[in-house]
Amino acid sequence: MASVIVANAFFLSNSFAYHDMTRSRLQGTPRRPIQLTKVATARFGANTIKTIFLKPNMALNHYKDHVHMVPDIDLGQMLEDGYVFRQNFHIRSYEVGSNQTVAIETLTNIFQEAIINHVKAVGEWDHGLGLTREMCKKNLIWVMAKLQLVVDRYPIWSDVIQVDIRNGAYGKIGMVSNGTFCDAKTGDILIKASCLWLMMNEETRKLSKFPDEVHNELDKHFTDTTPPMSRKWSTRDKSNVDYVRKGLTPIWSDLDINQHVNNAKYIGWILESVPYTIVENYELASLNLEYCRECRKEDMLRSHTYVIGTGKDNLGDRDRIDCEHSLQLEIGGGMIMKGWTTWRQKKWK
């Protein structure tokens, strides 16, 4: 019995070697010797079963003359005397949509990830989403108050984008983060982003002033930044909304480690009420969001979209379309978020 188990274990553990050897024959490449390494033994009663495995190499990168499919992890680096953090991100297949370009929610997540990694890189990070040591002592967390994205061109699958992050003070109440997304190969600027962070007490869920202790931690890493552009609602009747999507509810996977809905999820919700004619014929060129209050897992929402300056019958005939958006509670109508988007015609469909 023990010999049968040993044979089965040997066959299964060397399946990669068998397929590599077969692939080499089909491709006409020289067959190379297979080196096996013993990695474990297990004892069952009086019998000892020896398991033999291949030397641990990734199957896609088993031979040096094969294409390297799995790149090294980019942890980022500090530039310009420590005021700029740069990190490369590789666009994966699961990060693109049906039109092969990256979704706007993914760009928001990449932006936030680079900002958090900046705090890590300067040595002030303690844990969580960019929390410093003094923030942890005072039970404070970051919350996004405003977000602005301007897209010149969307990355596509397999692109490598280079993200530069600069952080700066916003008076005595918050921090501004600016991001520049470039094509890592050509250096062309693809996207510009800016966001405003405020502080909230994790227990009371109320906004807090920027404590001097936290400001002293981060001030030496701050540089000049440009806050997100402020927008104003149009003077129309707010109850006259063209497109509404009701019954939106967070699910467990929408929550981040601060126990409220992830910033990028709001974008998906406001796009739920955008007319399909716009989504089909246009792409999002710019986005401005103002987060009014946090959304919790028990909230039920409705999304509103108002198309500015055009009738419903000629949505597909304009070079540019501007929209206003609001995300509200189903019960009570409290404002969760308001926003503005600009859409341009797709170059290809």
Catalytically active residues are: 258, 260, 295
Q: How far apart are CA 233 and CA 231, in angstroms?
A: 7
Which residue, chain included where needed, has tokens 């890493």?
221
Q: What values do phi and psi take at 257, rounded to 5?
A: -75, -10
Query: 3-class DSSP state for residue 2?
Result: helix
- Residue (of 327, 347, 346, 187) closest to 265 by Cα position: 327
Cβ-proximal residues to 40 (8 Å cutoff; 6+ apart), any chain: 51, 53
Round to whole Å and give the CA distance between 87 and 188: 15
Decide the pairing of beta strands 140-151 and 189-201. Answer: antiparallel
DSSP state string for 65-126: TS---SPPP---EEETTTTEEEEEEEPPGGGB-TTSBB-HHHHHHHHHHHHHHHHHHTT-EE
Assigned token pair, 13? 């553990």
Q: Give the closest residue to 303 by CA, choosing from 248, 261, 341.
A: 248
Furthest CA-CA distance within the chain: 85
For residue 47, what are its two tokens? 């019998």
Q: Residue count of the chain, please give it.
A: 349
Element (H, E) at 40: strand 36-44
Strand partners, 182: 162, 189
Query: Could you tell me where the beta strands, DSSP code E, fall in 46-110?
Result: 47-54, 77-79, 84-90
Bridge partners (DSSP) of residue 52 are 38
